[in-house]
Amino acid sequence: MTHVRFAMLIGSFLLLPAAAPAQVAGSTVLGVAAAEMREVTLGWSAERQVLGKAVFNDKNERIGAVDDIIIAPDKAVSYAIIGVGGFLGVDRHSVAIPVSQLKLQGGKFILPGATKDALKNAPKFEYASPAR
């Protein structure tokens, strides 16, 4: 269930207003309605609570860290990019893990069944080149 809150949080970043907008007839309201604000404030902060945090397996072994969050074209939070392997950044690579596979237990991100070797052998994630 915590991955749902995670997805809601990231989705809420796309909706946070700089100030409460005035409504104009026939226009789209930007930002979050006052009724939704409480839900947003109960979500997770990617910067404060997700990015850079260690990821452990269910044996409490550190297997990597959250380097990035990918928001799919449909605006759903789909993947956490986990940096694995290496020492001081040498031979480190990133893998994409579906957010639904991450669990939050005792304040730690857990990826059940994962091992360092399994993640090292997973396909390497590489960012696509921007379209021109």
Indicate the pLDDT class of residue 14, thresholds 50, 70 and 90: very low
Which of 3-7, 87-91, 113-117 is predicted with the least confidence, judged by mean pLDDT?
3-7
95: closest CA among 109, 79, 78, 110? Answer: 79
**How high is the mean pLDDT of the chain?**
76
pLDDT at 83 over 50: yes
CATH (residue range 2-120): 2.30.30.240
47: closest CA among 32, 30, 62, 66? Answer: 66
pTM: 0.66
Which of 57-61, 74-78, 104-108 is predicted with the least confidence, judged by mean pLDDT?
74-78
Question: What does the pLDDT read at residue 110?
Answer: 95
Count, in order, helices (H) and strands (E) of the chain.
3, 6
Question: What does the pLDDT read at residue 48?
Answer: 77
Question: What does the pLDDT read at residue 95?
Answer: 94
Check: CB of residue 13 under 8 Å from CB of residue 46: yes
pLDDT at 50 over 70: yes
pLDDT at 96 over 90: yes
| Most confident of the following: 26-30, 40-44, 111-115 | 111-115
